[in-house]
Structure 1
């Protein structure tokens, strides 16, 4: 299969929404892409629409229940800070970067989710120190390309302030510019989280979110200039995409509080879970309900009866419920017993003590970052909840498309680089390609 481009640069602006288009279309660097390339008005995300499953979908062309990354974090009841799906081994099947590498092209990734210990030539994976005895720099070095990362940290590490934004994205930007100029990879995947952070802690349309979009515009301009300065601009394809949107909320649902009261979760009385029969695993705007023993019919019956009663209560914050089989039909984790969708204005956490429904204030958010004022994870079928896609450069037609699905992006990227992801849930969007 022939390649349509020599260099594919994929920029993921986490939480970029279809609703952001009125802002983007007036910003010069976004205009450069929009005027000369392909623009998709609405991209349907996946269920649950959270970052790690989304980014695994983008590089595989498959739904979560097929690629295996069904949530951001692992099911670890009682752990205050669960581990994330950081590692490449979490993904089942092949990926875009695997196939590009097999085709003897160079690959690079900067803070792209689910790439720790991946076979990527120049890799700075998104992974953070999740234990008190871990060191952030060392955790990253051990999980990616150590010499490459060491060099970037030596030159640009002074910019970052741990995981704080916008400094983290500023560091990622300098690392991106550096990588383009010195490595000129055939595939470069970059993940920026500034906008997602601002929306979580300040709200969807907050001044802080608008400022983050403006910073992303400037970052995009720097990347375009780097491609030109490195002499590969004319032979490159530049993609800007979002993984999901977000919705404002101010009420949290703690279903584990009810499970705890029913004796389905037991604790030691000092805030630590010592056993569980059922557990509500948050995906922010949705949640999986897992039953520890799938043959425990008594627990299944109690949980189903509770969910039925909550669905009849408009104050419960729960909009709908799926069985595990129905969740699998939508691409989510079919091993769950149930999957719940929150109403607009609500999201799920995993607390098992305190209030079942808690109203969130700005002070709560400032005091504890598990609380937010906007989040995602909701069903992609919710209204005005799509994300966005635009691409320009070699191999791309100037076209506006009304919609595609997130699962279609991976196969389309593979076609641009002349590789194949095999039988995928998504398909190549040929309307945007010059074949």
Structure 2
């Protein structure tokens, strides 16, 4: 295949929504970028619309049931902090960065989800210390490019304050700018989470979220400037995108509390799950329900049908395993449930079935103010795609596209092929 660009820079602004576009158009660096960019203001995300499945979709062109990353977190019933789908081994099939590497291209990945232990030349994976005995820096070093990360930490580690934002994204930005100038990668995948973090903590339209968008504008400007200083700007393609939107919530639903009451989950006196027949695995705005046998499935189905009758229970829809699979979600779950507007699911086992979220809850990180994971069919829930540079037509407006289309389009730009994918190349964008 013909290569259409020498350097593809993919910048994921986590939780950037179509509703943010009017703000972007007023910010100086986005405004300048958009003068020649081709855009789609209505990108349909995937189900469940959470970060790790979304980013695996972006680099594979496939739905979660096909690439295998069906949620952010693994099914680990009762664990206060479940492990995430951090590692490349969870992705079935090939990826954009695998194909680039095979073609002899230089690759870089900074906090791109589901890449730990992946074969990326300059690699700072998104993974965090999830055991009391672990330390963040060694965990990162051992799962990415050891010497590269040591160098980035030596140069810019003073900026970071653990996983806090905006300092984490500021650290990623400085590492990105340095990597562009020093390494000039052919493919660079960058993941910024500042906006997502502040929407979770403060709400979709909060002052804090707006400030994060303004910081992202500065980050975009710095990256473009770095490409110019590296003398590769004219040979580069810049992609700025979101992975999903978000919605505010007021109440948290704990389905596992009801499962426990019905004897489907056995919890020890110390609060640990000893055994379970049914379990609600949260995707925030949606959730998977897993069962061990047909008897448990019948009990769960009866319970869910009862809950659906009362609007105040916060469940908008119950999907069968087949219906979930038809939407690209995990077909191993017995059911998938969708939260109503203003609600979201947690895996809590204690207390009442539904909690009203208070300021104290958010402060103590028990619950959040906004989340995602909802069905792509929810109103005002699309994300955005913006592309400019080598190989891209100027000022083309794509009315609608899907997240699954991004990977095949990126592969085409680099003269690569991802094989048979759920998504397609957006030909209208390309020269």
Q: TM-score, normalised by structure 2?
A: 0.99
| Long gaps (5+) in structure 2 | none
SS in structure 2 at match of 1:401: coil
Task: Tell whether 2:316 aligns with 1:319.
Answer: yes
The aligned counterpart of 2:188 is 188
The C-alpha deviation readout for 1:206-251, integer Å capped at 9, x for no partner, is: 0000000000000111101000000000000000000000000010
1:6-405 matches, cutoff 5 A = 6-291=6-291, 293=292, 296-367=293-364, 369-398=365-394, 399-405=396-402
* Distance across 2 between alignment mates of 1:330 and 1:138: 38
SS in structure 2 at match of 1:82: coil
SS in structure 1 at match of 2:397: strand
Runs of 4+ in structure 1 off by over 3 angstroms are none
The C-alpha deviation readout for 1:392-413, integer Å capped at 9, x for no partner, is: 0000012011110000000000
1:410-421 matches, cutoff 5 A = 410-421=407-418
SS in structure 1 at match of 2:35: helix
The C-alpha deviation readout for 1:4-33, integer Å capped at 9, x for no partner, is: 000000000000000000100111211222
* Distance across 2 between alignment mates of 1:97 and 1:377: 25
Question: Following TM superposition, by how much is the alpha carbon of 1:152 offset from its aligned partner in structure 2, in angstroms?
Answer: 0.2
* Distance across 2 between alignment mates of 1:380 and 1:299: 29
Aligned length: 430
* Distance across 1 between alignment mates of 2:136 and 2:270: 30
SS in structure 2 at match of 1:47: coil
SS in structure 1 at match of 2:398: strand
The aligned counterpart of 1:425 is 422
SS in structure 2 at match of 1:219: helix
SS in structure 2 at match of 1:315: helix
SS in structure 1 at match of 2:41: strand
Question: Following TM superposition, by how much is the alpha carbon of 1:269 offset from its aligned partner in structure 2, in angstroms?
Answer: 2.2
Q: TM-score, normalised by structure 1?
A: 0.98
Question: Following TM superposition, by how much is the alpha carbon of 1:37 offset from its aligned partner in structure 2, in angstroms?
Answer: 1.5
* Distance across 2 between alignment mates of 1:335 and 1:271: 27
Question: Following TM superposition, by how much is the alpha carbon of 1:166 offset from its aligned partner in structure 2, in angstroms?
Answer: 0.4
The C-alpha deviation readout for 1:329-385, integer Å capped at 9, x for no partner, is: 000000000000000000000011101000001221001x24101000000010000
* Distance across 1 between alignment mates of 2:71 and 2:253: 18
| Long gaps (5+) in structure 1 | none
SS in structure 2 at match of 1:400: coil
Once the two structures are overlaid, the 10-residue window that deviates more, 81-90 or 267-276, is: 267-276
SS in structure 2 at match of 1:287: strand
CA RMSD in angstroms, aligned pairs only: 0.6
